[in-house]
Structure 1
Amino acid sequence: MNCDEIVFRKISDLTLLENNPRKISKKDLDRLVDSIRLNGFWLHRPLPLSDRTGKLVVLGGHQRIKAAKKLKLTEVPTILYHDLTEEQEADIVLRDNINNGEWDPVLLNEDWKDKVDFSFIGLAIPDFGEDDGKSKKKAKAEDPEEDDTAGEDDEDPVEDKEDFYRSMLTDCLYESNNEFDIPNLLLDKQAGKLQLPFAPWGADSRLRKDVATYHFYVDDYRFEAIFKDPIKVLTSGVKALVEPNLSVYDTTPIAYGLQQIYKKRWISRYFQECGILVYVDLNVSVKFKEYNKMGIPKGYNAFFTRGYADRVEYLKIELEVAREISGLQTPNLLVYGGGDEIRKFCTENSLVYIEQFINDKKGKNGKNKRKQ
């Protein structure tokens, strides 16, 4: 056999292999999508193609093509093999991604076992004798080659923890210090000094296991999903987090703003119940300053906010809120971004300043639109 150089080809020009013996779970496909979104395609593992039948038939990488389509990609790296026999094609198909997804034992039995020696390529499959033809056991590779999600950290066993987290995730009313039933946070689960690494919750968060503190000073769409399934945050290995910074502006109706404050305080209390330490988010418009105090018990001393260049007056208001609630002249208030003027204010008031290391689309150093 011989092959060409690696070429990016349009997915629409490729023909998927019929009776592909590989399948993949939704969870594994999501992980693969995230991996490609973060790292792109590895050029050392292009999709092998055959032109034996006159078409560009994909012999390996079907799951990568599924992931590429989800990401709206139109081209993938490929390598075209010429002069392959049917047996050589079968050998490539079964060697490629030998440990990604799950084998379909029925298709392996019906379409593949006569084309290649499974044991020769290191593939262990169930006995396909007549007596156990109904076997549904998953085939496993004895010596698996690198798979599509190679490079990702293996997940720690978290089944017991997940069961606990889900048992806590019920419709319930937490105790409240206000007429709107906005839940109270727990004093013994307030965050302290900033634990590093400190990072935004976003597209790559499911893949990372090293972040100690997450913040949500990102576009709302990046974290809205946590209200439907917060388990991903809990199993990420995070130790502390800043309350989700749901957008409320001076033009936001009070009824809707209260709902947003209720949501972030409820999910924060839930995280505390599951052992995560929480910083109160003070970054709301002045219109909602008093409402945002609801559910924060007296003596609470863990606060976070965004800094904004040339708008020190907002930070002054938030510092007074933190002082009022904590009862301290120098509260544990951390400020994310804002530039030199904000940094200077933090230094003068013994506050922790964290450089904003991800610039938004509007500009740098906190020169973005304030929630006002």
Structure 2
Amino acid sequence: MLPVSEVRPYEKNPRKNADAVKYVRASIEKFGFKQPIIVDSNRVIIAGHTRLEAAKSLGMAEVPCIVADDLTDAQVKALRLADNKVAEFSEWEMNLLGGELGELAEISDIDMGDFGFADDGINADDFNDEFSLPDGEKSNITQWKLTFAEEQKAFIESALKEVGEPEETFGNVNESGNKIYEVVRQWVELKKSN
């Protein structure tokens, strides 16, 4: 355990964490501080900037840390980047996620929106028996990961609220995917008419 005052953020941290702090805070409140912050021998954060900010917002005096004093400067820099990058390559197995969220809703009152699921458009209501397609038809539904700047995200979210119900869903029960399709469809129609 190290005093919060001794744990220092890396000044050139390229990761924007502000939007995630409330979710990490909720996780710490609900489950405790289960994932330590990794710091170098000078107590500068290698991984865990968001956890530190969440701890500060909770008024914690100490945080659990792993002191990685066995790494070279180059390894510290590489780990700092790799720790954030590798998570980008993971995707949700939507059928399994839907089952887990549904089961969790049945057995507990834990609000998964506290951890970002509702904000991401992923919640138990998005899944039902129709989401699992017969084996021969699974190629018709594709999960597609997109990355946006905050300004882009806000603009897209406002467009999704305005677009209305899609004309065609092609069997997709995911509301966000259908609305993105409808925005693009309407844009194509406008381009054709100009």
Please give the range of the TM-score, normalised by the shorter of the 2 chains: 0.3 to 0.5
When you count strand as a share of all residues, which structure comes out higher? 1
When you count helix as a share of all residues, which structure comes out higher? 2
Structure with bigger gyration radius: 1
TM-score by length of 2: 0.46
